[in-house]
Amino acid sequence: MELLDIYDDNGEKTGKIVERGTSYSNVNKGEHIGVAIIYIENSKGEFLIQKTSKEKGGHYSSTGGHINHGEEPIDTIIREVKEELGLDVNKEEITDLGYLLFDFPIRFIFYLKKDIDINDLTIQKEEVESVSFMNKDELKDIINKGLMHKAHSKILEMILDKKKDDFDTEINYLENYEFDSDYIIKKGNIPILFTAPHTMNQLKEDGTIKISEPYTKAIALYMNKHCNASCMIKLKDTGEDSNRDNRDKFKTELIRFVKENNIKIVIDLHGSKRDREFDIEFGTLNNLSTDYSTIKELEEAFTENGIKNIVYNDPFKGGAITEYLYSINDIDAIQVEINYKYRDYNNTYYLEKLIKSFENFIKQYKKYM
């Protein structure tokens, strides 16, 4: 006999106990059985989703189960993760997201950020047919097709919306943050540097205005904050274009910083117009400024996030920053041209994919440091 505690609308136990699977005829309005659910996300932004066995409905869901009498929701999650996935987790790893009233059960929601090797899991065949990590597009697909447990999909959509709101808030804060100096350098603890020389409108030599390249500043700051990469950002028009053939203060300081901090990779961020026939272009001085393995790792990080329209050295082969860095031995310099589609103020969906690609590249690079 499996006994369950009854909860009120505020997530508190009422003291009433019922047997699981009965008609619950003695359960009143405002009373609920308890269910605990956990959403496990890896560093790629993918969620661990299981397909339940045919006996359990054969639908997609997250991991979880009923809260037994005497258990706390967090204890249920630890037990269910062990039973269904063969995975040991502890309370300190898990974030409590509160609860949701949806139909009869009250669902206590938990979140775990953890990189897990699927091959290390031992699934409970009676409950689970298969498990896999799914990205946002794959999740939206199974949700839209009605293949996911209704309550689980509702909660997952809420989590994804919250994460999207959090990302938008942060990336726009970084983009709009004002500094007093002409440029800034923020030092990280890995040998990768992001540069952004065109974050402001610039008066060109012919009297025309070179328009700023939105979000290149925010991308560089984000990579410093979240990945511990260094960043160097030009903030004001000094009368010199730092990516043209001149030795301005920005490039002088860039060379000094690279040498003093043993930087191995410089990713020089630039923006292209929406009508360009590429999503991303890598400028490497016709493959002279970057090792082949580095550029292939970067390309793979992009394609894993669905960014596949990538070209090399056409039309931008790399500007003065790439050329200056090429003169230094043992450093990879890449000019990355980013289509406006990935830097659109009105739709940051693609920008988030772009940043996730850079994050994945850095994660892969750190394995070999």
Q: What is the pLDDT of residue 246?
A: 64
Q: What is the pLDDT of residue 21?
A: 76
What's at 76, amino acid-wise? T
Question: 298 exposed, middle or buried (CB, 10 Å; 0-12, 13-18, 19+)?
Answer: buried
Strands 183-186 and 230-234: antiparallel
Q: What is the pLDDT of residue 55?
A: 81
Fold assignment, 179-366: Aminopeptidase (3.40.630)
CA distances from 368 to 13, 120, 365 (A): 51, 23, 6
Q: What is the pLDDT of residue 295?
A: 94
| Run of H or E residues at 226 | helix 216-227
Pick the CATH number of 3-141 from 3.40.50.720, 3.90.79.10, 1.10.287.110, 3.30.1330.60: 3.90.79.10
**Rounded-to-integer distance, Cα 272 and Cα 114, Å:** 35
Calculate the CA 115 to chain-centre distance: 13
Residues of the chain with CATH 3.90.79.10: 3-141
Whether 35 contacts 47, CB under 8 Å: no
Q: How many residues can be counted in the chain?
A: 369
Tokens 């739709």, residue located: 347
| Run of H or E residues at 37 | strand 31-41
**Rounded-to-integer distance, Cα 359 and Cα 190, Å:** 13
pLDDT lower than 50: segments of the chain: none
Q: What is the pLDDT of residue 327?
A: 81
In tens, the pLDDT along 143-176 reads 999 999 998 999 999 998 888 899 999 999 999 9
Q: What is the pLDDT of residue 24?
A: 67
Residues of the chain with CATH 3.40.630.40: 179-366
